[in-house]
Amino acid sequence: MSFKKFGDNDVIINTMRAYPHSEFIIFDSNVYYNQRPDEIGTRNSRKRNVENGFISLYELNIDRPSGSINSHYFIGPSAQPEEGEPDTRIVDNGRIYPFISKDSAGASFKTVGAVSYNNEFQHGDILTGEYPLKATITRKFISNPSARVAIGDGLNVDYAAIRNTLDYHKLTSEHYAITSSNGHGGGWNKDTKNIAFIHIPSIFYGSKIKPGSVNLELYYTGTLAAAASDSNENGELLQYSASDATTYNKKVAGVVLYDEGIIALTGSWDLNSELLKLKSSTSPSEEPKWKYFGVGAGDGLVRADMGQKFGNISCKLSFKGTTDTQVMTMFTRAKKGEVNYSNNPTYIEYGQ
């Protein structure tokens, strides 16, 4: 077999950038991703082994049973190891899962701490992980970010971890700033006001959320109460539609941290006149507000505690991510007549 070398113009390497769309619907403490239904498996209650609204990394263990179905050890001896000897058995539990052997290289899973790794495992022991690895959006509501639980405590850890990042982006928009004397109500101080964070894992958006693609819609009994988007592509979530609170159109309901995958909501104006519990089961009833957008998304709030009206609220979040894929294109060119061949005996001359 003959070989040909690729020429200077035969290989092209480039980067393909895509903007995958994601959509989440939050209703009655359930999250739905890209309108995907809850698929029932033949051997498991959920075919993908993850709850609604979750995405499964690697998409392994599709419709595999969750319990142990076989006690056979398929790698290593099946007998219990002697005292002081490493346990090299790997059990077949009917599922795909990662494993690694402790050796001098010191490799382990990120969930295994250094102290545990050194003291609880012998060289030769098998360390196992678990699939599926799953992720979904979560909401964190902070009533008073600067509150201290005890003497000597610092800021609320969830807020403190994001505070500097918010302030860093104030050059992009003043609404990222922690404090300001401008804006609705004579300014703000994020250290002392209610704020809600919606955390979006990077598996949903890649390297960053695409500016200008974020859209929030809040519904009450199926009717759109208000909508906001980052139409200016500077992180500001501007209300652009409302059934009642039309005077607040073009007001900033929150900001988006594109690189970090976080939405910070501070809008505190009423979106309609309905009263229901949205902060906690013991808090007084309030009108829907932007700071309550996404209520029920992994925050532990359920209708049984919050009251029947809690089921009247639904929220829709959509955005586009950014992914870069390296692409290599290889052209296998051949000169005219160089590699032509025919079994047709009527051809006139070589290379025809």
Q: Which amino acid is at 322?
A: T
**Quick check: pTM over 0.85?**
no
Tens of pLDDT, residues 245-288: 889 999 999 999 999 999 999 999 999 999 999 998 899 999 99
In the predicted structure, residue 131 carries a pLDDT above the cut 70: yes
Q: Which amino acid is at 185?
A: G
Of the segments 63-72, 99-108, 292-301, which one has the largest average pLDDT value? Answer: 292-301
Q: Which parts of the chain fold into alpha helices (H)?
A: 114-120, 157-168, 303-306
Q: Which parts of 67-125 fold into alpha helices (H)?
A: 114-120
Closest C-alpha to 251, from 229, 233, 218, 273: 229
pLDDT band of residue 74 (cuts 50, 70, 90) is low
pLDDT band of residue 234 (cuts 50, 70, 90) is very high
Tens of pLDDT, residues 136-188: 999 999 988 876 555 555 568 889 889 999 999 999 999 999 998 876 556 88
For residue 132, the model assigns a pLDDT of: 87
Under DSSP, is residue 316 helix (H, G, I), strand (E, B) or coil? Answer: strand
Using alpha carbons, list the distances in angstroms from residue 286 to 251, 272, 345. Answer: 20, 10, 89
For residue 78, the model assigns a pLDDT of: 61
Torsion of CA 199, 278, 194, 185, to 10 degrees: 120
d(CA 195, CA 60): 37
For residue 304, the model assigns a pLDDT of: 93
